[in-house]
Structure 1
Amino acid sequence: MAEDSVQLADLSEEDIKLQFITPAIQAAKWDFKDIRMEYSISDGMIKLKPGSNKAYRDTPKKADYVLFINGTIPLAVVEAKNNKKSVSHGTQQAKEYALKIGAPFAYSSNGDAFHECDLLNGTEKDIPLNQFPSQTELYERFKQSKQLNPLQEKLIKEPFCTGANIKAPRYYQRNAVNATIDAIARGEDRILLALATGTGKTYIAFQIVHRLLSAGVKKRILYLADRNILVDQSIQQDFAPLEKVTHKIHVASEKPETISSYQVYFALYQQLVGDSGEEDHYSQLFSPDFFDLIIVDECHRGSANNDSQWKCILEYFNSATQIGMTATPKETKYASNISYFGEPVYTYSLKDGIEDGFLAPFKVIRYKINIGDEWRPVAGQTDKNGQIIEDRIYNNSDYDYNIVIESRTEIVAEEITKYLKSTDRFAKTIVFTPTEDAAERMRVALVNLNSDIVKEHPDYVVRITGSDEIGKGKLDYFIAVSTQFPVIATTSKLLSTGVDTKMVKVIVLDEMIGSMTEFKQIIGRGTRLLESEGKTNFVVLDFRNVSRMFADPKWDGPVEVDEEYNPENKRGDGGEITPPQPPKYKPIVDKNGCEARVEQKTVSIYDPNGKLLQVESIVDYTKRNIKEKFTSLEGFIKEWRASKKKNSIREFFFDKGINLEELKAEQNLSDVDDFDFICHIAFDSKTKTRKERANSVIKTGFLDKYSGVAREILETLLDNYASNGIYEIESSEILTLPQFMKFGKPIKIAQSFGGIQGYNQAFMELENAIYGDGSVGI
């Protein structure tokens, strides 16, 4: 320790940094712009505590110092500790951060010296405070260990694109860009990036393109996608800084003599290939060596498959470097993007994104419908059209695929509506159904159940499917953060991948999913975070037990090459086994022929690894929590009556993850007071409606004690209670509602009772009258 160790021991970690570590780094001649302090690595995982609806963040991870070369490659992480700790105390933390961000050196210091961890050769040592390595020295060590070629060095010096409207790259985005550019500099011409949905693949593509263009390494770039919205989103958002050199290809109107004046081209596979799948469209416009870089967006959707109609584009421009981007690297017997592009040069999974706090966590509500596992028609049963229904056992794999059970559609729509009504009726929701027809039936059912909103806002529920041109026209409005409608989108496949649905808070699974690739893509529709708009997590409503796939080892696990992969095997559009053809006739069974109902509902919360943190029946969970808090009916009644603000009891349940309004809706008891409902759930008491309690107050003659305006005010409060409940009239805003305006401002209303104290006393007596002696229904 230093001679003045007593004084050093009194210094905080911040003092150690200011007085010892920062001066030592600056003395080593590090460029000021390459020293980043309090460098953000993660935002802190958002967690849904079991039994809680409220999301909260873990502590974000920040490195005390990250030292760069040319602002592109992180060379070192330095962690500071106070002098009461050893020099090497922060080594593990520094190593963890260094490995995460791709820095080859990690340092720890307590102000006495530095402890160096060289991750390139696996050695550690102490070095004096005044001998911290210079920027040139560390770069030379890195350069020699990696044996950098001249092109690699040139590209390292090319900075990321920054500016007022361009966000700084997150650590994994920087890693992905650096890994890709390094692979190109090493001469690789087929490159795969695997990053979870919502992690900014297009932003990463933009930074790759910007650096390669700026360095003059690539001159003409083609960005390929299979949907217009993906192309348009890319041009308008992430690639906006390059707008002067970008061009969206419209094959029919392009001319070879003018099309060569751009640098970054965007195109749809379908437009380039045309219906025939021949080269004519693109070969007439471009020579095979026209592009020197091609970026393939969402390459899991089959662009590189051997039997893909679109692979001819990649083969025609074979001399270009080709980068595939996907959220789900695919390797099966029927499809492979790994066999074409190679192993990913960088992977950032959904698990990584949730743990870092960049992606939203989720909970799953699983519904068991009585006919889910088995339904069999009675002998000779006909459908609503008079057609005989084939006599066999039907289950979740049949409904909407081979047979339509109308009451099943109705019950699913009812449960979706109940959930939204009990939480947020304007939460963006995607309902995934088996077919486009099923999406239409679901749309109609949801419209009828939400007619109170639909009559004012016809686009509250829309169908957005491939063949529905009007529905597809609503897609931009659905995904836009700034537009409220549509709120609910029913679909089959169109919204399962690629679309930037930032505000989706509810994902409804009402189709069978056999592909882990598709399952990850669908779950990915909800993973985007938008905390400024209140989006911190999402919920999955599962009506076909599809969420069992979270238990599959392939859920966000490593990609393993399937040795049986054969590019000659045929596949469906999803890259899996081609699904069976639908029957020539699909029976339609009405409610008289089969009545579906929900038998059980459970809530599950998963960690990022897909491990269950909690699973329990909502009713059982609620009953258990009530009895843990209130050991007896008498104890609950006593606390309810003693509570000055009944909302405090509701907040207790909310913090435990119990939404009383949602649960009441489930039990068809929305008109029941929370007081009665709690007694009913936990202690088997009969219930009284709020209207019954309000009528009881009138019968007791309580209001006869008051006259004139004071009585009218109390009657209005009682009417509000009957309609909306105790929390409404307890609110400090109650006297500002329109129905009270005729009595004047709140201060004037209070004067009708002799002042604030008099009003408060009258209100307390009204509450006592509502609950009487605390009795429950008998």
Structure 2
Amino acid sequence: MDKKQLSESDIISKFIMPSVESSGWDSMNQIRQEVSLRDGKVIVRGQIGMRQTVKSADIVLYHKPNMPLAVIEAKANKHEMGKGIQQALDYARLLDVPFVFSSNGDGFIFHDKTALKGEPIEREITLDEFPSPQTLWQKYCVYKGYTQQQLPIITQNYYDDGSGKAPRYYQLQAINKTIEAISSGQNRALLVMATGTGKTYTAFQIIWRLWKSRAKKRILFLADRNILVDQTKNNDFQPFGTAMTKITGRTVDPAYEIHLALYQALTGPEEYQKAFKQVDRDFFDLIIIDECHRGSASEDSAWREILEYFSSASQIGLTATPKETDEVSNIDYFGKPVYTYSLKEGIEDGFLAPYKVVRVDLDIDLQGWRPTKGMIDKNGEEIVDRIYNQKDFDRTMVIDERTHLVAKTITAYLKRTDPMAKTIVFCNDIDHAERMRRELVNLNPEQVQKNEKYVMKITGDDELGKAQLDNFINPKKAYPVIATTSELMTTGVDAKTCKLVVLDQNIQSMTKFKQIIGRGTRIDDRYNKLWFTILDFKKATELFADERFDGIPEQVLVVDPEDVIDTENTDFDDALDEIQSVDSDEQDTQKTDDILISSDPIGGSTDETNEESRWVKYRVSGIQVNKIAERVQYYDTDGKLVTESFKDYTKGCIKKQYASLDDFVKNWQSADRKQAIIKELENQGVIWKALEDDVSKELDPFDLICHVAFDQPALTRRERADNVKKRNYFSKYSEQAQHVLNNLLEKYADVGVQEIESNNVLKVTPFREMGRPLEIVKQAFGGKQQYDDAISDLEQALYSQDKTG
């Protein structure tokens, strides 16, 4: 047996696996092959999204399912032993494991992050020297600094329902790092994970392991919205079964071990409302705080008193957007995050959807609008004479034509793309959401006649709208399609198939911006939801350029907590968030609307004849409003938004692969199959269909590349096929072979080079009439090798530099 001729899979099965198994590793429970760690980043251009192909780790070794220890990367024997070490190190980084191996079947290069001072980090070992599970586990425990008391908790398995679902690599890191922190005696922990990455599932697995190991016996999961508690109870937390309860009626039942609760059900301004005081301070030994960037982040908030009452309990904060301001700090309370998984990482890994931004500028927003002197609005109010700008519109100044133009732009986009694409329109307040709903209904009569729920207002004051929230987020339910809202849907809405997020709301808070963008970042392959569009009318997407957008949070709060003054209510966005986060069942809608009007610090006008000076929202019509500009921007590889055509994007991708035209042509000509180059460029982000739509459907990939990337004149497929015919190319073949090749040339002209390289091309018309593929190959060419040679010759003729013949 010539080892150099063996494939990579043969090297694994014949040499690497026997070596590992003979060292004591259990092939059923401790060894996994072809472990996919990423899903593959989605590249978006135009209306097309495509996943990049990602490689899997060849072999991962585990102490237990929740404890990966080592990565092995295999290469064919024609490569040297350490060829795969850098690739394996990348996988090891994702899995957070210290032991890395690369092998070509002759032995292993062993990269050991636990190596002591004076020991080599990398060394060569033979196939017989592969370390045993016990050896690596002992080294791992020393490396991690585990104590004997920690081990029963650390090694407790995560929940497995037998379906094959397991935590993704970053979820496993988040779970393990949190378990390590809690088991070592750390009583506060912060997990920062981007919206849509499974924070609640991660929290469930943390609780499960701590509960099953009996390290924690009574657990409280805290949230500030009913929908968050109910989704958690009915979905991720379901395996807790009868051990779990939702606290209602302000009563804490000690018969249960897992308690889910709204903050509002446990506390209130009056002493009799403080239900949490029904039990002793040490009743709970673990508290999970969901969306901890909101009320619980504030030092003197009513909700914080629950956490301080149970101060002896381990407390874990979950958030996608940690709040760090001069007055409020998650980090000050919980400490620095034990683990962070960002939106950018999620997009790069292919677990989160990238976005396309369509920025729409309206003339009235940029130039402002001033009323004529003494002008009266539609409600009979005299309008204060000043210039009203983008921050005023739909907050203190309503211009009907502006609302109409925004709704018209939304409608035009949906009609151009997909009228049934789930859409959330974020408005400034409930009144704005209702007016936007009405405009969208009137602009979409055909859709509304099919189903009156095509457009729905889903806000805290509307019971009918709130009742449709579950249908909106359910991929199986077609209606509602468009939801207009203000605050209710900014968080806790798991709308996996939301394809359009419309921003017609003034957003100054980075926390809120991240939460709103998170409504679109979920991926659902089953329903072809791979990316989403942000239609921005308020310049909100300028926040993408803010360095705080996707960075690790910097702690801003540095003063003594006793000196902190809660100024939340001076920030309109956060004040609105606090108001609307009250349990909607107990919310006094009229009171809320009054607060929203009176607390606006940005614009508005006071009626000076009124002794109490109230804020006024004016409404006018008959004003001309126009779109000035509309530009499209895409998520780029470095997490930035770029404005470019798909041709420019493709040019950049190709030039990263090929330095010059000669370099590309040489690689193309020497490739046994052109499909390999086409596929490789596809993996680098070239979307051929989008490029054809943008340039020409008549061009072959070769000409598309030469034309777009290297500014060469292009030949159509038909022109290339005709040039081959002019050269009398077929004369050296038999009459039967010429007939086959002529038809292959026609296939090329119609479809492209991929078609003539396809293994199935001889199974379709007109070849089907000539006989079975094997018969055609043998009779016309003399055998498979001769047929392959003829295809190579044909391709050489097609791409010959002699274009004139």
Q: TM-score range by the shorter chain?
A: 0.7 to 0.9
Tell me by how many angstroms 1:139 deviates.
0.7
Residues 157, 270 of structure 1: alpha-carbon distance in 2 compared, 3 angstrom cutoff = same
Residues of 2 paired with 1:450 and 1:309: CA distance? 45
**Which residue identity does 1:393 align to in structure 2?**
I
Tell me by how many angstroms 1:548 deviates.
0.9
Tell me which residue corresponds to 2:641.
612
**Which residue identity does 1:225 align to in structure 2?**
A
Tell me which residue corresponds to 1:450.
444
Within 5 Å, which residues of 2 pair with 1:23-102?
Answer: 23-32=18-27, 33-49=29-45, 52-102=46-96
* Residue 267 of structure 2 corresponds to residue 273 of structure 1: yes
Residues 104, 448 of structure 1: alpha-carbon distance in 2 compared, 3 angstrom cutoff = same
* Residue 365 of structure 2 corresponds to residue 372 of structure 1: yes
Within 5 Å, which residues of 2 pair with 1:579-598?
Answer: 580-581=600-601, 583=605, 584-592=614-622, 594-598=623-627
Match of 1:353 among 312, 324, 346: 346
* Residue 15 of structure 2 corresponds to residue 20 of structure 1: yes
Tell me by how many angstroms 1:475 deviates.
1.2
Match of 1:103 among 97, 101, 106: 97
Within 5 Å, which residues of 2 pair with 1:688-703?
Answer: none
Residues 658, 10 of structure 1: alpha-carbon distance in 2 compared, 3 angstrom cutoff = closer
2:131 aligned counterpart, secondary structure:
coil
Residues 334, 277 of structure 1: alpha-carbon distance in 2 compared, 3 angstrom cutoff = farther
Residues 309, 652 of structure 1: alpha-carbon distance in 2 compared, 3 angstrom cutoff = same
2:566 aligned counterpart, secondary structure:
coil
Match of 2:174 among 162, 173, 176: 176
Tell me by how many angstroms 1:577 deviates.
6.9
Tell me by how many angstroms 1:612 deviates.
2.9
* Residue 597 of structure 2 corresponds to residue 601 of structure 1: no
Cα displacement string for residues 164-220 of structure 1 (whole angstroms, at most 9, x for unaligned residues): 457211111111111111111100110110000001111111111111111111111
Match of 2:161 among 163, 167, 177: 163
Match of 2:194 among 168, 193, 196: 196
Cα displacement string for residues 495-522 of structure 1 (whole angstroms, at most 9, x for unaligned residues): 1112211111100000111111111111
Whether the aligned pair in 2 keeps the contact of 1:54 and 1:655 (CA below 8 Å) is no
Whether the aligned pair in 2 keeps the contact of 1:551 and 1:610 (CA below 8 Å) is no
Tell me which residue corresponds to 1:10.
5
1:455 aligned counterpart, secondary structure:
helix
Residues of 2 paired with 1:372 and 1:565: CA distance? 40
Whether the aligned pair in 2 keeps the contact of 1:407 and 1:591 (CA below 8 Å) is yes
Match of 1:250 among 248, 255, 262: 248
Sequence identity, in percent? Answer: 47
Tell me which residue corresponds to 1:431.
425
Cα displacement string for residues 311-361 of structure 1 (whole angstroms, at most 9, x for unaligned residues): 011011111110100001221113211111111101111111111101111
Whether the aligned pair in 2 keeps the contact of 1:571 and 1:577 (CA below 8 Å) is no
1:414 aligned counterpart, secondary structure:
helix
Tell me which residue corresponds to 2:409.
415
Tell me which residue corresponds to 1:697.
none
Tell me which residue corresponds to 1:296.
289
Cα displacement string for residues 624-667 of structure 1 (whole angstroms, at most 9, x for unaligned residues): xxxxxxxxxxxxxxxxxxxxxxxxxxx999656779xxxxxxxx
Residues 616, 17 of structure 1: alpha-carbon distance in 2 compared, 3 angstrom cutoff = closer
Match of 1:225 among 204, 223, 243: 223
Tell me by how many angstroms 1:388 deviates.
2.7
**Which residue identity does 1:381 align to in structure 2?**
M
Match of 1:530 among 517, 524, 528: 524
* Residue 504 of structure 2 corresponds to residue 510 of structure 1: yes
Residues of 1 paired with 2:18 and 2:25: CA distance? 11
Residues of 2 paired with 1:44 and 1:562: CA distance? 35
Whether the aligned pair in 2 keeps the contact of 1:366 and 1:601 (CA below 8 Å) is yes
**Which residue identity does 2:281 align to in structure 1?**
P
Residues 78, 278 of structure 1: alpha-carbon distance in 2 compared, 3 angstrom cutoff = farther
Tell me by how many angstroms 1:491 deviates.
0.9
Tell me by how many angstroms 1:557 deviates.
1.1
Whether the aligned pair in 2 keeps the contact of 1:601 and 1:617 (CA below 8 Å) is no
Within 5 Å, which residues of 2 pair with 1:300-379?
Answer: 300-373=293-366, 374-379=368-373
Tell me by how many angstroms 1:279 deviates.
6.3
Residues of 1 paired with 2:382 and 2:167: CA distance? 62
Cα displacement string for residues 50-98 of structure 1 (whole angstroms, at most 9, x for unaligned residues): xx32111111231001111122111101100111211111111111110
* Residue 112 of structure 2 corresponds to residue 118 of structure 1: yes
Tell me by how many angstroms 1:387 deviates.
2.9
Whether the aligned pair in 1 keeps the contact of 2:395 and 2:617 (CA below 8 Å) is no
Residues 276, 462 of structure 1: alpha-carbon distance in 2 compared, 3 angstrom cutoff = farther
Supply the RMSD in Å over aligned alpha carbons: 2.5
Residues of 2 paired with 1:395 and 1:196: CA distance? 33
Report the TM-score when normalising by structure 1: 0.76
Tell me by how many angstroms 1:275 deviates.
4.6
**Which residue identity does 2:600 align to in structure 1?**
P
Whether the aligned pair in 2 keeps the contact of 1:117 and 1:123 (CA below 8 Å) is yes
Residues of 1 paired with 2:160 and 2:646: CA distance? 50
Match of 1:207 among 183, 205, 208: 205
Match of 1:570 among 566, 569, 575: 566
2:519 aligned counterpart, secondary structure:
helix
Residues of 1 paired with 2:370 and 2:524: CA distance? 46
Match of 1:551 among 545, 551, 570: 545
Residues 64, 423 of structure 1: alpha-carbon distance in 2 compared, 3 angstrom cutoff = same
Residues 271, 392 of structure 1: alpha-carbon distance in 2 compared, 3 angstrom cutoff = same
Within 5 Å, which residues of 2 pair with 1:615-764?
Answer: 615=644
Tell me by how many angstroms 1:550 deviates.
1.1
Residues of 1 paired with 2:53 and 2:424: CA distance? 32
Whether the aligned pair in 2 keeps the contact of 1:382 and 1:389 (CA below 8 Å) is yes
Residues of 2 paired with 1:61 and 1:613: CA distance? 27
**Which residue identity does 1:152 align to in structure 2?**
Q
Residues of 1 paired with 2:567 and 2:689: CA distance? 50
Whether the aligned pair in 2 keeps the contact of 1:414 and 1:446 (CA below 8 Å) is yes
Tell me by how many angstroms 1:451 deviates.
2.2
1:496 aligned counterpart, secondary structure:
coil
1:318 aligned counterpart, secondary structure:
coil
Cα displacement string for residues 231-267 of structure 1 (whole angstroms, at most 9, x for unaligned residues): 1111111111112211011134x4x6xx212111100
Unaligned runs of at least 5 residues, structure 1: 622-650, 660-778
More displaced stretch, 605-614 vs 450-459:
605-614
Residues of 2 paired with 1:58 and 1:399: CA distance? 42
Tell me which residue corresponds to 1:127.
125
Residues 502, 571 of structure 1: alpha-carbon distance in 2 compared, 3 angstrom cutoff = farther
Residues of 1 paired with 2:621 and 2:47: CA distance? 36
2:185 aligned counterpart, secondary structure:
coil
Tell me which residue corresponds to 1:139.
137
Unaligned runs of at least 5 residues, structure 2: 576-598, 606-613, 650-686, 696-805
